[in-house]
């Protein structure tokens, strides 16, 4: 991945924001997966 900005501070902020968005998307994925797994277990039990 390449970050093209003017200034080190802007680059750090951009990288931090990209990391935050990635973590939020990952949390949604894991939450959905966990919810699907729980509902499947409840149906079997």
Instruction: Answer whether 3's CB lies under 8 Å from 14's CB.
Output: yes
Global pTM?
0.71
Task: Report domain extents, the chain.
Answer: 6-45
* Rounded-to-integer distance, Cα 19 and Cα 11, Å: 12
* pLDDT string in tens for the chain (45-residue length): 788 889 999 999 999 999 999 999 999 998 888 887 777 777 776
- pLDDT at site 45: 63
Torsion over CA: 6, 7, 13, 19 (sign): positive
């Amino acid at each position: 991945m390449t970050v093209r900005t003017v200034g080190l501070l802007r680059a750090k902020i951009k990288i931090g924001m990209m990391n935050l968005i990635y973590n939020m998307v990952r949390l949604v994925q894991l939450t959905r997966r966990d919810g699907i797994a729980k509902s499947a277990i409840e149906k079997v039990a």
